[in-house]
Structure 1
Amino acid sequence: MSTPTDQKEVMEKGEASTDQKEVVMEKGEASTDQKYNDWIAKVDDMVEWLYDYCDTHFRPTLEEKIADMEYQIGMCIHALDSIPQEKRQSEFESAVFELTKGRLYNSIPGCYKEEAEHHLVNATNLAPYLLDAWVSLGICFAKKRDYPRAKHYYQFVLTVKEDSMVLWQLADLELLYARVADNPPHHIDECIKYAQRALALDDTDGSCLYILGSAYFSSFILDGGWNHDNTLRSLEAYEKAEKTHEMKSNPELQYDCGIVNRFLENYNKSLICLSDAAITDPSLDVLHQLKMTVQLLDKLEGLVQGKSNDKSKGKIKGKSKGKSKGKSKGKSTETSLSSLIQSLDTIDLNPSYNRATLDVLAEGPNKGLAVIGAVRCLVKYEYSTPLYYVLCDSNENSFVLTVFGIQKEAIKQGDQVTLLEPFCKFVDFEWEGKHYQFTSVRVNLVEQVLVNGNALSPSFAIRQPLRLYA
């Protein structure tokens, strides 16, 4: 495919680009019956070319990208208007002409155009049986954020036939609706149902798989981050979508894959996905995410390896275990890390669990085991989710504790934390010449954690949607 710059230079000279030679009909050419007898097929090809261009054309800024797309839309409209009036006199031909013009104006992703609505409404008035016009009108009203009306048009088409494309448009609509509705979980559930219906008809639909993955991740966020299974389902759908032709190298999918992989602590894969997205589409806010992820990894690696710049090296601040008197009442005291570690073995443990240290854990869930560690510090970084702590076990092994679904106030520096059936992740990879190697234990529920030998109160569970930024 020629570059956007090449296309623009050629078009400014009044010629068609290589990709458009077969689909664009310039006014300056001879107008013969032979040429326009099959105009409907030609303009269908032109619309497909334009939509592919809009989906795969990337520029340094969104403004530049939209400007390029509007230029191409103008060229296509010019070609469409060159069709002689006598070749589109029938009701059906007039409807297809209006549908095509509406689809051309409607081609910029996420951008509502009044002209698109006008021509698509004309198409439905001329030919109410033209289902493509109703689908396109639904897409137009979704961009206008008139979600009930868009849903009405999609559902009308479904009364005529069960169509996978319409079902995933409905799924996408519910995902959009969830962002503004009073009951977001309901719309996420509806999104998943529509996506699953669509995939039952075509399980290789990459767009639908992408929507399904996004719905599962949205559900994870809305639930407060406790349902680890939804992040796994999200990643599974995303990875299936990546293997399809239409979603291969899609930067938005790469970006979302990067975020989900970071939440799953697949840091190497996360960095690869974010880097690929940044290269493909510079207009996305990917470089910032990439930078913050590397900075987080640098901090975790440094703390676990004992490279913290904490002035009180070897000591941590914790709550006084005894009663305070006078002016010192309520203030924290410095407690030796070594004494905290030595006292870990004295903490009672339910006999249904076997006491373990970090070096005996396997990657993944560790059924029947419990690890007890002293909290060295809460890791401060740009995001508020998840929480990261650095702990030491009774063998003085430092590791990262990654916390979802639990409020920050539940665990503090100097606490002794018991992790029941810990889910373990071994991080070991290189990125841009630096080797990252540490062990992380993940918790999602208050029931998985004891603090200073006591169960956490249910009030510490996060029951609101996660806030991703501090």
Structure 2
Amino acid sequence: MAEAEKDGDPTNDKDDLQILKQLVDELYHFRDHYFETHAVEDSGKKQNDVAQEMEKTINKLQEKSDLYMNKAEFLLLKGRCLGVAPDFSSTAEECLSRAVKLKPGLVEGWNTLGEQYWKKGDLTTAKTCFTGALQQSKNKVSLRSLSMVLRQLSGGVGDEQGKMVLESVDMARQAVQLDVTDGTSWYILGNAYISLFFTCGQNPQMSQQALSAYAQAEKVDRTASSNPDLHFNRAMLFQYEEMFGSALAGYSRAAALDPAWEEPLEKERQLLEYLEKLTALTENKGKLKARRLRNMLSNLSTSALGPCSSPQFRSPTGRIGSLDPCTLSALTHGHNAVVAAMGKVVFSLASEGRMAFTFGMVDSEETCCVVMVYNTADSWGVLIGDSVVVPEPQVKRHSVTHNSQTFNFRSIRVESPLLLIVNGKRQNIQAQTVASVSYKPHSE
């Protein structure tokens, strides 16, 4: 009888472990579906509520610890339970390491252990774990986890970085193909496309694919709408694409879903401050006195066109031929072919967290327009009084409303300072650098 108690009944073991697995699964469901049973106003309590549920589940597991402490399946459950917390757990790492040693084919063990190493900041070992899990069985968790680890590891430059990001996108795509109803896989694919967008030439198609992946995540999985990271990362892309209203709404939503996370509120504050300054300076033409403005504009002539007046000038679209100067008021929404906007710089804006070098330009009719120049080196800029020409300008009208604040203005988007003519001259290659956006992967 004592011997039977020591060894345990395999049938009972299986039943016990199944009950414990259900408890751990319920814990994850509580965390991931929190806002199905709680209001967004309760978001500040979420972390504490999850911690309390974790404690209850751990206590239930501890009751069976003496019976199953050397079973891989039990160690996996304990590691998973502790892994529900956002931070690294050395106890979870120890349990999961023992689990995969006892049972090397335990795919979930390798995946959960990889997550612990990722939280710990040991990306190389995390990658080894996820790769090991894939060798056992092709599964979406390993694929999407490898996708995010590869992006974190792709801190190099040039071809090597691009290669890792492309591999990251491929892993995320494979994860989605294995389960098209999995919102987390779609979300991680969206993040992968953002990395590809900024790493490989800012192809607008990549930006659209990122937005489509995020939208699909929300469509197939209602919990995705409660993911603050999704709203934050998408808001960063919206801001870069000058969809300022959507960006502000995204930062605000991310902050509401995770009040302890300060970055979304800070980004929202910075963007609002940027828009406030931008619209005020545009309305006041840089606050320049009328006399000074007239003196500046009296020096504005077609000589400022520089190479744009040459029949051999190659425009940003590849067209060969000279461009005609055009007043700002005559520009239409979208791309303005065969013309060049010309004016004097009346202000520049170096705001916190800016994604573009921003300046105001006034033309011969004293019309003021915002110019946003992307991919600029930190050392590049224009000075008040400089003559600036924008070949074939891309014009956008903005009407932004957020929390009872409204901003209305027109802007010209310039993808690189190399496309500008400043004081009659092209800009040298040192004026340009590749833009990057550090989206937040804190709970991928």
Fold match, TM over 0.5?
A: yes
Change beyond 3 A, Cα 1:452–1:231: farther
Counterpart in the other structure of 1:78: 59
Tell me the equivalent position of 2:282: 304
For 1:437, what is the secondary structure of its paired residue? Answer: strand
CA contact (8 A) 2:345 2:383 kept: yes
Q: Given the two structures, how large is their TM-score scaled by the length of structure 2?
A: 0.80
**TM-score where L is the length of structure 1:** 0.76
Q: Distance in 2 between matches of 1:396 and 1:64?
A: 54
Equivalent AA in structure 1 for residue 271 of structure 2 = T
Where 1:107 maps in the other structure, the secondary structure is coil
Match of residue 38 from structure 1: 15
Q: 1:271: Cα distance to partner?
A: 1.3
Contact 2:302 2:325 in 1 (8 A): no
Residue in 2 that maps onto 1:157? 133
Per the alignment, do residues 467 and 114 of structure 1 end up closer, same or farther by CA in structure 2, a change over 3 Å counting?
closer
Query: Deviations 1:344-364 (Å, cap 9, x if unpaired)?
Result: 587352442454333444444
Q: 1:169 aligns with which of 137, 142, 145?
A: 145
Q: Contact conserved, 1:372 with 1:416, CA < 8 A, in 2? A: yes
CA deviation vs aligned residue, 1:222-257 (integer Å, no higher than 9, x gap) = 67x966665454444333334341311311211222
**Offset of residue 113 of structure 1:** 0.9
Letter in 2 for 1:443: V
Match of 2:426 in 1: 455
| Paired residue secondary structure (2:400) | strand
Structure 2 residue aligned with 1:411: 382
Give 1:31-110 correspondences, 5 Å limit: 38-55=15-32, 68-83=49-64, 94-109=71-86
Q: Quick one: which of 92, 115, 118 aligns to 1:142?
A: 118
What runs of 5+ residues in structure 1 fail to find an aligned partner?
A: 1-32, 317-334
Task: Provide closer, same or farther for how the CA distance between residues 464 and 305 of structure 1 changes in structure 2, counting only shifts above 3 A.
Answer: closer
How far does residue 49 in structure 1 lie from its aligned partner after superposition?
2.6
How much has 1:378 moved relative to structure 2?
Answer: 0.8
CA contact (8 A) 1:40 1:96 kept: yes
1:349 to 290, 293, 309: 309
Cα deviation, residue 265, structure 1: 1.1
| Alpha-carbon distance in structure 2 between the residues aligned to 1:350 and 1:242 | 51
**Residue identity matched to 2:328:** L
Give the whole-Å Cα distance in 2 for the aligned partners of 1:373 and 1:199.
49
- The residue type equivalent to 1:129 in the other structure is G
Residue-by-residue CA offset, 1:254-286 (whole Å, 9 max, x unaligned)? 122222211211111111111212222211222
Alignment of 1:250-329 (within 5 A): 250-285=227-262, 286-306=264-284, 308=286, 310=287, 312-313=289-290, 315=292
Pairing partner for 1:438 from 388, 391, 409: 409
Distance in 2, Cα, partners of 1:168 & 1:250:
16
Higher helix proportion (structure 1 or 2)? 2
Question: Percent of aligned pairs with the same residue?
Answer: 26
Aligned equivalent of 2:105: 129
Q: Distance in 1 between matches of 2:170 and 2:64?
A: 43
Contact kept in structure 1, 2:376 and 2:434, CA below 8 Å: no
**Aligned length in residues:** 410
Judge conservation of contact 1:54–1:108 (CA < 8 Å) in 2: no
- Give CA deviations for 1:195-244 in whole Å, capped at 9, x if unaligned: 23323333443323333333444455567x96666545444433333434
SS across alignment from 1:282: coil
Mark the CA change 1:140 to 1:204 in structure 2 (over 3 Å): closer, same or farther.
same
Distance 1:140 1:346 in 2: 59
CA 1:313–1:205: 2 relative to 1, 3 Å? farther
Structure 1 residues 201 and 172, CA, compared in 2 at 3 Å: closer, same or farther? same
The alignment yields a C-alpha RMSD, in angstroms, of 3.6
SS of the aligned residue for 2:350 comes to coil
Q: Does 1:374 align with 2:374?
A: no
Secondary structure of the corresponding residue to residue 247 of structure 1: helix
SS at match of 1:409: coil
For residues 362 and 199 of structure 1, the distance between their equivalents in structure 2, rounded to whole angstroms, comes to 41
How far apart, CA to CA, are the structure 1 residues paired with 2:193 and 2:430? 25
- Contact 1:226–1:444, Cα closer than 8 Å, also in 2: no
1:395-445 deviations in Å (ceiling 9; x for gaps): 432111111112353432222222123222210133333331111111122
Give SS of 1:243's match. helix
Distance 1:191 1:375, change over 3 A: same
Matched residues in 2 for 1:368 and 1:39: separation?
A: 76
